[in-house]
Structure 1
Amino acid sequence: MDYTHAETYLLSRPETDKSYPFGPDVAVFKVKNKMFALLATSGKNGNELGAEFAGYAFLNLKCDPDEAIMLRDIFPEVRPAYHMSKKHWNSVVLKDSMPEKEIERLIDRSYALVVKGLKKSERTQLELRYPPDLLYR
C-alpha cells in the first residue's frame, strides 16, 4: 500500500475529515473530531522509525495495548508509534512487505476503537446513519 492508497482508504471511512495541524507534511484523519490516523513520510535519515524505513510513508493508528505488542512482534513494519502513546498507538510503515489487507484491517480497527470511544450521542448519530459492518469492521 502506498501513501495515495492509504489516504484514499482512510477517507472512505464514514464521516472522516482530513486536516494538517502539524504542518503540510502530516495528514491527520478524524471522525467526530477525534483522531484515528496520522499519515506522513519518514525523513531521508529515518529519525522517526529507524534508518531502514527512511523515505517510506507510515501511518500512526490506534490499537488495543495487547494487540499493539503482538503486532510489533509479528511485523517488522509495525513499530511503537512515533511521537504518540506507545501503549495505544502503533506506527505502520507502508512497505510492500506489509500485507495490504492487514493495513486495511488495522485502519478499520483504529477507526472502530475511536468510534466506540465517542460520546454516546455522537456514536448513536453515526450508528443511525451507517450499518454496523461499516463502522465496526
Structure 2
Amino acid sequence: MTPQELSDFALELPGTTDDEAFGPGATVFKVEGKVFAILQDETPDQSAQVTLKCEPDLALHLRDQYPAVGPGYHVNKRHWNTVVLDSTVPTPEVQEMVEHSWDRVVAGMPKAARDRLTLQRG
C-alpha cells in the first residue's frame, strides 16, 4: 500500500480529518479530533510508515506475523503498532489495521458520538 492509498483510505472513514499536527512529513489522521493514524513520509533513510492504534494482543500477533510491523514509534508501544509501508504487508491487511485503529478510537468516545460514527460507517 502506498502512502497516498493509505491516506485516501483513511480519509474515507467517517469523521476523519488530517493535518500535520506534529510538523511537516507526518500526516496525522483524527476522528472527531482523536488521533488514530500517523503517516510518516519516506525519507532517504527509511520507507514511509504508519503508526496505528491496536488492541494489545492483536498488536503482538501482528508483530509476530509481519517483520514490517513493530511497536509504535513515539507512542505507547502496548497499544500502538508502526507498519513500514514497503509492500510486505498485503494492502487488505493494512486496510484492516487502519479500520481497527479507527474502531478502537471510536470505541472510547461518548455513546452519542460512537453511535453516530458507527451508523455513518454502515
Of residues 57, 61, 64 in structure 2, which corresponds to 1:70? 61
| Partner residue, 1:40 | 40
The alpha-carbon deviation at position 97 of structure 1 amounts to 1.6
Separation in structure 2 between the aligned mates of residue 106 and residue 112 of structure 1, nearest angstrom: 10
Would the alpha carbon gap of residues 73 and 15 (structure 1) be closer, same or farther in structure 2, given more than 3 Å must change? same
Q: Which residue of 1 aligns with 2:108?
A: 117
Letter in 2 for 1:96: S
Look up the match of 1:49: none
What is the one-letter code of the residue matched to 1:61? L
Aligned residue among 78, 82, 85 for 1:87: 78
- The reply on whether 1:20 has 2:11 as its aligned counterpart is no
Question: Which residue does 1:4 correspond to in 2?
Answer: 4
Instruction: Give distance in 1, aligned partners of 2:121 and 2:64.
Output: 34
Relative to structure 2, which stretch is displaced further, 17-26 or 121-130? 121-130
Task: Provide TM-score, normalisation by structure 1.
Answer: 0.83
The one-letter amino acid paired with 1:105 is E
Residues in 1 aligned to 2:106 and 2:77: alpha-carbon distance in whole angstroms: 20
Whichever of the two has the greater Rg, that structure is 1
Aligned equivalents of 1:11, 1:34: Cα separation in 2: 14
CA contact 2:14–2:120 (8 Å) conserved in 1: no
Question: Which residue in 2 is equivalent to 1:135?
Answer: none
Give the share of equivalent positions with the same residue, in percent: 39
Structure 2: gaps (5+ residues): none
Aligned residues between the structures: 122
Q: How much does 1:41 deviate?
A: 2.4
Mind listing any 5+ residue stretches in structure 1 that lack a counterpart? 46-53, 132-137
